[in-house]
Every structure is written in structure tokens, then in C-alpha cells.
Structure 1
Amino acid sequence: MIPIAKPFIGPEEQAAVAEVLASGMLAAGPKVKAFEAVFAEYCASPDAVACSSGTAGLCIAVAALGLPRGSKVLTTPFSFIATANCVLYNDAVPVFGDVDPATFVLTAKTVRAALDADPEIKAVIPVHLYGQACEIREIAEIASARGVAVIEDCAQAHGATEEGVPVGAVGDLGVFSFYPTKNMMTGEGGMITGRNTALLDRCRLYLNHGAPQRYLHTELGFNYRMTSIAGALGLCQLARLPEWNRQRRANAETLNAGLKDLSWLAVPLERAGCEHVYHQYVLKVRDRARLQAHLQAAGVGSDVHYPRLITDQPLYQSLGYTSDTFPVARQLADEVLSLPVHPALSADDLQTIIAAVRSFTPAEEGVSA
């Protein structure tokens, strides 16, 4: 079976973890500080704050804004649930906008319309979904002009750029995840970047029990520190990331060339001026369930990211949300299918994937525009 994801743990990672274990410095030690420094440089951010997960990073980032209870935060319904849950954790109210059918993300046009229609929106969390930057520069300009904060959800976009600028360097804050299936991983872990150094300082305070120094607590904080083991893994993985992203892009080009002529699917679109890092290679297809079964029988893994909108989740339904005003996102939830694109794929693997997809006959032709 060709897996949909394949985390890499090499001898360097194993040696780095063994070094940490031997040192006895297991929590927030020098490896974490070193990882923060190199990741900040990689993202062109003035600082970086390591944390225990991407979800923790999002929660801290919203907390750092200091929004009044009940404030509204705009985001997308087509993402992993943590994108919206971080708003609920902070006694704020998620509001949602529909996404672009070709790029799957919030557009600057949608953000402008939402902010103009509802001045109670105090922050925006755009998602760089599947490894491609959204229109983050324009979104940040629109938000800044209205006094609205921007938190970039970069959980799937390590190394992605818009007009040469890395994601995580444009908004007030940006949050990355290092879950095992991401373009780089630390087992579990996250990182907060951004251009607002005052907010980054607040994030650092919040993740360590609100303590600017030991046993002095000035804020209600959390224990969301990154372990030294995760920091050591991150240093190794970040060094490999540029080559891994290059290989992901090359794999995506091969898949595009082998599939783009099929009328019953749409291959991923790379926005002009952007460098997509293909955390996921996502098709839009018809007859998805049968195609997945066909691929499984051919030894090709696949997955759906995401089969249900956030607003369709039972939690959000119980809070009164519906998906009636998000027709594009709802259609995408019925059509998207992720194929393997990770850097461990061989040339033979790629041809096996292409052949498996091409040998499928859908019950109906065409996909949504």
C-alpha cells in the first residue's frame, strides 16, 4: 500500500533525541530556544514561540489578542476544527465565510465584505490550506485598515510563500503545526510567528502559566510549552524541509501531468505568485466513494480533508450554526480527495498512483467549477 503520509525519522533525529535524553534537559531547554531562532529566521519573523501543538498555538494566539468576551472572529468553515475551536476556547464567537472553489480558502474579497458588513468582527483567521498561501497580504491590508487583527493558520503550509514572502510573516501572528503528517514534524508541537512582537511576547507569557519569571504569575496562562525532545526533532526536520518541499512540488507536477486531461476531476491550482508546498495533493472528483475503494484495491492510499464542514459538526450544530450560506465549501466537502504526494514516493509509486486513477470509470462526468 502506498500510504497517504509517511513521516521520516532518520539517524540524525534518533541521535538528537538520545542527546536530549542524556542531557536531562527535557522541558523547554536549549534545543527549543535554538529551534525557535532558526524557525523565526526561516519564516522571516522577528521572533518565534514554540508550543506543544498547533492547536495550543492557535489558542494562545487568540488569547494574546485580549478580545472582549463575545467578540466575533472570522474564519473558514472548510478546515480542521481547531481553526474555529480556538475562538470558542477564548469565549469569542466564530463567524464563517465561504471559500473560493479553486483554491479552497477565504479570499480577500470575502474578508472585505464580511468586515464591512459586521463591524463587531475583531479578528480574522485565514487558513493556508493544503500548503498554499491564501491572499494573505491583501487580507492583512484590509484588516489593518479596519483595526482588525489577523492570525494566519499556517498549520499545513511550512515554507509556502506569496510573492516571495513566507506565510507566518504577514499577519499579526501565524501558527504552525508539527503533527507527524505535516511537511515537517516534531511528534507533536507548534510554533507561533508573526510581525507583532508585543503579541509574540504575550504568547510566550501565556504558554508558561502566565509567568514572566519563575513563581511569579501575572496572567492566567497555560502549560503549552514544547518539550526539548520536540525541539531537537524540529531542528533536524527544518534542515530537511526545503528539499522535502521541493520534492513535494516535483511529485505534484508529475501527478498533474498524468491526470490533468481527465474530464471527471480537477487537479490542484497553484495561485500566480505563490509557491505551493503540497502538504496535501487534493483533487476535486465525482463518485468519490467508489474512487476511494478503487484506489484501495489498487494499493493506493487516499483520504478526505475534510468530509464535513466545521459548521456541520455536532458541536457547532448544537450552538446553532448551519452551513446553508456556504454552498462552495459544502460542495468541496463532497468532492475533495487527497492522494499521496509526500517526498518518500518513488517514481514507480507516482506512476502507480496515476495508473490507478486513470483506470477508474466514474458514474458521472465533470466536477464543480
Structure 2
Amino acid sequence: MIALNSPIKPNLKKLQKYLEKVNNNGWYTNFGPLHDELTDKLQEYLGVQNLLLVSNGTVALQLAGRALRIKNLVTTPFSFVATTCAYKWQKDIVSFVDIDRKSYNLCPEAVSRALDQDTALDAIVATHVYGNPCDVEAFESLSNEKNVKLIYDAAHTFGVKINNQSVLNYGDASTLSFHATKVFHAVEGGAVVFKDKQHFQIAKRMINFGIEPGKGIVETGINGKLNEYQAAVGLVNLEQMDSVLQHRAELFSQYTAGLQDVVELPEWHSKANFNGAYMPIKLKNSQQASKLIQKLTESNIQSRAYFSPALDSVFTDCKNHGTPHSDAVTDGILCLPLHVDMTNKDIDKVVNKIKGSGVV
């Protein structure tokens, strides 16, 4: 079986040493020493500041919105359900606009039109789909011109850079997921990287029930902290990230070389590196994709129609500014196996099965 995904496995001997520290400290959560150590090491590794660890990636999205005081946002229909759910759950107003047909990311021109049509909008929430950065310069200009906040769902972009600068440094906030299925994980968990220290401080207070040390409860908050056991897993896994990212990027490039003349592939940001988070391909339609999934399954190769369905077809109560490109991409999208346990021979097998499937 070539599995769709296989989470990186923490070194148990190293993990045991960290867990012994936790037990010896008797400090299991609430901004413990391993939490702070992981924060410092992630900031250094990723080249960012104002990174706040949180309990999961969904809380990261919600927290970014609350810290920036947004209530009425425009976002992409082509993303994982958490991107929209996070905001609808806390009763924010969500509108959908179309994606760019080539990159599959939120389209700046479509967002600009929506902002002109609906002056109540106060934020853009854009996903770097599959780890492929959005047009960050265009969105930065839009954010400044229209005076709206800019949040990136960067759950797929661990280790991705644009012109050797972390993609997480763009926007007012970028959110990460450290779920076990992600490139880097802490079993569960996540983070928000804020542009401004002020928003970081607000968010840190919010994830501790709105409590500010020395002042007590100063606003409504939640419990969104990362515990010490999760931090221990993160610290161990971070030690192997150089080799993980290099291997995944090599596998991604091998896939791309083998399939670029066979199926449609998203157009990648020209100034960004690859982290091999996902291997998306686009078939002519969902029927063709289903046939290929069946052919691959017969060869013990897992695949998944991801992202499908489009979120505007699920959350029909949201305002829709028109999403023909998203509809077209959703109709036939497919993700192939890509993870650190795969080999070059595995990639060759998948590519050859696709070419010989009689479907494409």
C-alpha cells in the first residue's frame, strides 16, 4: 500500500527525555518551559517574530480574527472546511469570491470587486493552497488601499519562502496547523504569526481566558493554549525538519517532472520554494477523477478528491460573488500520495500507473 499520507514519527528516545522533563517540572500546560522553548526555536527556524502557539489550527484562525477585531470577511471557497467553519462558528459574516484559475488561490481581482461592491467587508482571509503562496504583493496592496485586515490560512506552508523570506511574514496574521497530517506536527496544535506585537499580546491574553497577569480578567477569552506534551513532540520533530522538507520537495519535483505533460498542475508562485505538502493534479472532470481513483486503488495506491466539495456549495447561506473557476477546479481535483516515508520508486510507480491507466 502506498498511503496518501504518513505523519512523521517523533524519535521515541528523544521524546522520552522531554517527557521526563515535563514530569520533573510538574508543569504540564499554561505557557510552560517546553512551550517557550518551542516558540523560540520555531521563530528562529521559520524566520518570524510574534509567533503564538495555540491548541490547534482552527483556534489559530479564530484567534487571528478576534485579535484583529474582524467581523465581515471575504474568503476562498477552495480550501479545507476549517477555513470557513472557524469564522462561521463565531458568527462572523463570510462571503465567497472566486479563485485564480491557474494557481487555485484566492483571486486578488475578484476580491477587489467584492470589496467595491460590499463596503461592510473588513477583512480578507486567503489560503496558500497546497503550500503554494498567494499573490501576496497584490493582496498587500489591496489591504492597504481598501483599509481591510489581511489574514492568511498558511496551514500548508511550513518552511515555504518567497525570495528567501518566510511566507508567514506577509499579512496582518498568518495561521499554522500542527495537526499530525501536516508537514510539521505536534500531534495537534497550531500557531499564529502576527505582524504587530500589539495583536500578539491581545491574542496571548485571549487564549488564557482573557486574563492579563497582574490585572486579572480584562476581556472575554477562551482556553487555546498548547500543552507541554504537545510541545515535546514539536521539539523532537523540529530536529528532523531540514531532511523532511528536502525529501518532500524532491518527491514533489519528481512528480511534477513526470506528470506535467499528462495532467493539469497548479501554477506555482515563481519566487517560492516547495515544501512538498501536497501533490494536486486536475483531471477533466470529477468522473475522470473517480475513474483514476479506482484504478489507483486497484494498485493499492491511495488518493483523494481534495478539496471537494467547494465550500460555497456547503455554506449556501454565505454571500457568493461568483465562483466559476473554483467550480471548474473542484470538478476533477485529486491529491496523490506524498509524505516523508515515500521513495523515488514509489513516485515512479504512481506516475507510471497514472500514465498506463487508460484514464488520462
Partner residue of 1:340? 337
User: For residues 320 and 142 of structure 1, what CA distance do their matches in structure 2 show?
Assistant: 22
User: For residues 276 and 173 of structure 1, what CA distance do their matches in structure 2 show?
Assistant: 21
- RMSD of aligned Cα (Å): 1.9
TM-score relative to the length of structure 1: 0.90
Report 1:1-369 matches (<5 A): 1-9=1-9, 10-11=11-12, 12-27=14-29, 28-67=31-70, 71-213=71-213, 216-262=216-262, 265-286=263-284, 287-313=288-314, 316-317=315-316, 319=317, 325-362=322-359
Distance 1:99 1:344, change over 3 A: same
User: For residues 205 and 169 of structure 1, what CA distance do their matches in structure 2 show?
Assistant: 22
One-letter code aligned to 1:253: S
Distance 1:17 1:100, change over 3 A: farther
- SS of the aligned residue for 1:115 comes to helix
One-letter code aligned to 1:299: N
One-letter code aligned to 2:150: V
Q: Is the 8 Å Cα contact of residues 74 and 96 (structure 1) preserved in structure 2?
A: yes
User: For residues 330 and 18 of structure 1, what CA distance do their matches in structure 2 show?
Assistant: 51
Percent identity at matched positions?
23
Q: Is the 8 Å Cα contact of residues 152 and 167 (structure 1) preserved in structure 2?
A: no
TM-score relative to the length of structure 2: 0.93
Name whichever of 17-26 and 73-82 sits farther off.
17-26
- Listed one character per residue, the Cα deviations across residues 295-344 of structure 1 (whole Å, up to 9, x for unaligned) are 0111111112111111111xx23x2556x821111121121111112121
User: For residues 207 and 60 of structure 1, what CA distance do their matches in structure 2 show?
Assistant: 8
1:21 Cα deviation from its structure 2 partner? 4.1
1:90 Cα deviation from its structure 2 partner? 3.4
Q: Is the 8 Å Cα contact of residues 96 and 319 (structure 2) preserved in structure 1?
A: no
Distance 1:86 1:348, change over 3 A: same
1:181 Cα deviation from its structure 2 partner? 0.8
Unpaired segments ≥5 residues, structure 1:
none
User: For residues 214 and 340 of structure 1, what CA distance do their matches in structure 2 show?
Assistant: 50
Q: Is the 8 Å Cα contact of residues 20 and 228 (structure 1) preserved in structure 2?
A: yes
1:49 Cα deviation from its structure 2 partner? 0.7
One-letter code aligned to 1:270: W
Distance 1:331 1:209, change over 3 A: same
User: For residues 348 and 22 of structure 1, what CA distance do their matches in structure 2 show?
Assistant: 45
Q: What is the number of equivalent residue pairs in this alignment?
A: 354
User: For residues 259 and 16 of structure 1, what CA distance do their matches in structure 2 show?
Assistant: 43
User: For residues 233 and 312 of structure 1, what CA distance do their matches in structure 2 show?
Assistant: 37
Unpaired segments ≥5 residues, structure 2:
none
User: For residues 59 and 318 of structure 2, what CA distance do their matches in structure 1 show?
Assistant: 25
Q: Is the 8 Å Cα contact of residues 251 and 276 (structure 2) preserved in structure 1?
A: no
1:290 Cα deviation from its structure 2 partner? 1.0
Q: Is the 8 Å Cα contact of residues 95 and 319 (structure 2) preserved in structure 1?
A: no
Distance 1:144 1:240, change over 3 A: farther
Q: Is the 8 Å Cα contact of residues 130 and 280 (structure 1) preserved in structure 2?
A: yes
- SS of the aligned residue for 2:169 comes to coil
- SS of the aligned residue for 2:198 comes to helix
1:42 Cα deviation from its structure 2 partner? 2.9
One-letter code aligned to 1:266: E
One-letter code aligned to 2:33: P
- Listed one character per residue, the Cα deviations across residues 205-264 of structure 1 (whole Å, up to 9, x for unaligned) are 1111000127821111000110111111112222322321221111011112222222xx
Distance 1:361 1:320, change over 3 A: same
Name whichever of 210-219 and 292-301 sits farther off.
210-219
1:163 Cα deviation from its structure 2 partner? 2.4
Q: Is the 8 Å Cα contact of residues 154 and 168 (structure 1) preserved in structure 2?
A: yes
User: For residues 76 and 140 of structure 1, what CA distance do their matches in structure 2 show?
Assistant: 17
1:168 Cα deviation from its structure 2 partner? 1.6
One-letter code aligned to 1:291: L
Name whichever of 221-230 and 10-19 sits farther off.
10-19
- SS of the aligned residue for 1:203 comes to helix
Q: Is the 8 Å Cα contact of residues 104 and 129 (structure 2) preserved in structure 1?
A: yes
